[in-house]
Structure 1
């Protein structure tokens, strides 16, 4: 990772919620989720927050690097309907070597729907793939295909 990332760097990202990102779409095979209202799912909100943090990091990574979410501590305090736009603000709050901290906040145009903190680790994809290769062998499963850039 280049040394260009600074505490205070931020990105704002807007996303219109499609019907596929509602609670019933989270695990379609789970009858418990399928029976719930079709509002923006917490799992997808978390993913949107992570995506926004990745956008903060994007211009600061070296070729062959990416980031992995390693901690999330956020609230989900209000429901959002399909068709509404969720805007996520992500701000870099700490840089400790490869571990980057963020404050995240999501708003649906009417109210804050979630906020909290997230941490990511910057890692070379080939290193991560080697770790996963060892795990795949130990688990007796097929290794993942290499990350495409």
Structure 2
């Protein structure tokens, strides 16, 4: 697991809206579970073990504790790649109201919009239960797309 400063993670989450923890072991296990058609659901031993080892690991718990975050464990299934949509996990505004831990396999292609959580941006509830956002409005509000490089997997 990459070196981690809890204060650095907390600052990135509050200011940028995200923090990345690269983890090659997680990426390999994720790929192995997919190839063997293992379930990621908490109701299955394989999914619960994966979650306990990687998502509920000390760095993640330490970050949530530093943010005074309440823990609600939820599994929403996987999000399929959809280059035509830009998703948001919360309605928006200045206050952090939820922390989502995303598990990334090796080599995903995704973009993040730094500090977009602090902007008042039009969001529409999409078919995936998440909010959809127009990239043009993000750009207009000063939020440029940043490529996410998780070639080995991570959180």
TM-score by structure 1 length? Answer: 0.30
Structure with bigger strand share is 1
Larger RCO of the pair (alpha carbons < 8 Å, separation 6+): 2
TM-score by structure 2 length? Answer: 0.29
